[in-house]
Structure 1
Amino acid sequence: MSQTPIRTKIDFEKPGIQWGTLNIPFSYNLSGWSQLQIPISTIANGEGPTVLLMAGNHGDEYPGQIAIMKLMKSLNLDEISGRIIFIPAINIPAAKAATRLSPLDGKNLNRCFPGNADGTVTDIMAHYLTHEIFPRVDVVIDLHTGGRGVYFYPCAHMHLVDDLEQRRRMAQATQAYNTDFSFLYADIAGKGLLPVEAENMGKTVVTTEMGGGEVTNAAVHRLSQEGLHNVLVHLKVLQGEEQSRSDLGLPPTRWIQALDAEDYIFAPESGLFESFVDVGADVASGQPLGALYFLERPDREPTIIQANSAGIAIAHRGPTLTSQGDILFCLAHDVESDILKTFA
């Protein structure tokens, strides 16, 4: 196996606070000796879990990036029991370009695992996470939104892993985000997913979908930041009193799932999409969810998109302009009680 070309001055075993960069050789300007630099910091004190905290896996998903940048500057060493590794924009070229994919090689970091040390910059970063970072940590927190393409009802989510103890840890950490919904999702878009790589190593993996689109309102920023703080307290890497939804005067989290390919509804043709329902709404089987209109054929009747089952509209298309094959809706369903019992 090839060694990583990434170099850093960060010592992952060193106590205290460190700031640095992950440096990937990459000739993308006039200099042949240039490198891509990805900011990273660590804070470590005493005994406790090691948590990897990252965002910007997809560049156009910003609430998590802001939450991590604020958190990494606000923590004091004496608040920590263990270690946190902060990477606020793991795909910084995409973050700067406001794109989902890296503009340097056109690849989706979230689909490049386990990576390749001899590949493009995105492959190299996936390889580094797989072989250098994941083995050092107990918990992987990867913060997402729907980006510019999809709007989610803000939620924490996870995969339904087979290992019951790992599942319990993940469910309890997911629920500590205190979102209205906790969402179990399926991997319907191919292989190579970052959380799956970490899950296969036995890590506790927590991810989010904090809204989406160009605009992020203050409520989503607050939820992203306060939820993240509460999860770190729950994990006992950060001192403080964990808050439950009951403590906040809120009803219990509603666990939902979209584990079947039929739960994901795609555009049958291109057009302008109008949503009839908001995310978070309960819908009936056969209920019209939206319509596609046709700029070049305004005489045509719109194509009506219907729910193929009863459920909760957890996400829908973000931009109005829609291409054939774009996701229009994700319909989730309440998690069955026998699964919920495995979370306790």
Structure 2
Amino acid sequence: MSQTPISTRIDFNKPGIQWGTLNIPFSYNLSGWAQLQIPISTMARGEGPTVLLMAGNHGDEYPGQIAIMKLMKSLNLEEISGRIIFIPAINMPAAKAATRLSPLDGKNLNRSFPGNAEGTVTDIMAHYLTHEIFPNVDVVIDLHTGGRGVYFYPCAHMHLVENREQLRRMAAATEAYNTDFSFLYADIAGKGLLPVEAENMGKTVVTTEMGGGEVTNAAVHRLCQSGLQNVLIHLKVLAGQETSRVDLGLPPTRWIQALDAEDYIFSPESGIFESFVDVGADVSGDQPLGALHFLERPDREPTIIHAPSKGIAIAHRGPTLTSQGDILFCLAHDVDADVLKTFS
């Protein structure tokens, strides 16, 4: 294993509050000695879990970045039992460019694990998280939205993992986000995923999909921020009284899953997409979900996209302009009662 080239003045074993940067040597401007700096902060006091809290894995996903920046400035050290590591924009180049992929190397950080200390800046960051951060934390919280490409019904989500105790911890923390849906999802876009790397180390992993698109309404911001704080209280790293959905006058979270390839519906051709169904809606088998229209052939009848089965429209295409192969809908299904029993 190569040694990381990342340097920092943060001492992860030191109590108190620290502000600093993760520094990656990278000559991308006029100076041969330039570095890419990723802001990081830690708060540590007494005994308790160590929680890694990050967003901006994909740069164009901003609600989590805002939630972390607000939280790290608002907390008092006396509220902490354990340690929180805050990285509001883990993929800083992409966050500043409003892109999913890093503009420095064209790579997807979320698909770059376990990383490479001798690779590009994205590889180096993935390697640093894998070898320097993940082994020293108990919980990994990675906040996402659908970015500009996909709009999700705001939800917390997770993978199914084989270890029962780890599964129970993850399910309880996912529910603590207090979203209407708790979503089990599958990896359909290749390997190298950040949550999987942390899960394979036995960590409690919590992720979200807080909407998507260029516009984030106030309700999504509030949910992203309040849910995050409630999860930290649930984990007992932050003082306070955990709030349940019952306390909020809401029904229990609805556990749904999209674990089969058929649950992910892709565009068969290019066009402009009209959705017939809002996210969060129940749909029946063969129900029309939307239509592809063709600017260059306005005389042509649109292609109608049908649901392959009944389910819940948890996400759909974000931009109207659509290319062949773009995701149009993710269709989820209620989790079987026997599976739910494994969560408790």
In the comparison of the two structures, how many residue pairs are matched? 344
Query: How far did 1:194 drift?
Result: 0.2
Query: How far did 1:332 drift?
Result: 0.2
Match of 2:336 in 1: 336
Q: Percent same amino acid at aligned positions?
A: 89
Match of 2:292 in 1: 292
SS at match of 2:83: strand
Match of 2:269 in 1: 269
Query: How far did 1:250 drift?
Result: 0.4
Match of 1:232 in 2: 232
* Distance (Å, rounded) in 2 between the aligned partners of 1:235 and 1:125: 26
SS at match of 2:299: coil
Match of 1:90 in 2: 90
Match of 1:159 in 2: 159
Unaligned runs of 5+ in 1: none
1:9 partnered with 2:9:
yes
Match of 1:258 in 2: 258
* RMSD, aligned α-carbons: 0.3
SS at match of 1:265: strand
Write out per-residue CA displacement over residues 199-235 of structure 1, whole angstroms, 9 at most, x where no aligned residue: 0000000000000000000000000000000000000
Match of 1:283 in 2: 283
SS at match of 1:330: strand
Write out per-residue CA displacement over residues 16-42 of structure 1, whole angstroms, 9 at most, x where no aligned residue: 000000000000000000000000000
Query: How far did 1:180 drift?
Result: 0.2
* Distance (Å, rounded) in 1 between the aligned partners of 2:243 and 2:30: 52
Matches within 5 A, 1:129-140: 129-140=129-140
* Distance (Å, rounded) in 2 between the aligned partners of 1:262 and 1:205: 26
1:244 partnered with 2:244:
yes
* Distance (Å, rounded) in 2 between the aligned partners of 1:18 and 1:47: 18
Matches within 5 A, 1:155-234: 155-234=155-234
Matches within 5 A, 1:44-59: 44-59=44-59
Amino acid of the residue matched to residue 255 of structure 2?
W
Query: How far did 1:246 drift?
Result: 0.2
SS at match of 1:147: coil
Runs of 4+ in 1 over 2 A off after TM superposition: none
Amino acid of the residue matched to residue 144 of structure 1?
H
Amino acid of the residue matched to residue 69 of structure 1?
M
TM-score (norm 1): 1.00
Query: How far did 1:47 drift?
Result: 0.1
Amino acid of the residue matched to residue 145 of structure 2?
T
Amino acid of the residue matched to residue 32 of structure 1?
G
Amino acid of the residue matched to residue 192 of structure 1?
G
* Distance (Å, rounded) in 1 between the aligned partners of 2:342 and 2:301: 48
Match of 2:309 in 1: 309
Matches within 5 A, 1:33-48: 33-48=33-48
Amino acid of the residue matched to residue 277 of structure 1?
V
* Distance (Å, rounded) in 2 between the aligned partners of 1:190 and 1:222: 32
Unaligned runs of 5+ in 2: none
Amino acid of the residue matched to residue 180 of structure 1?
D
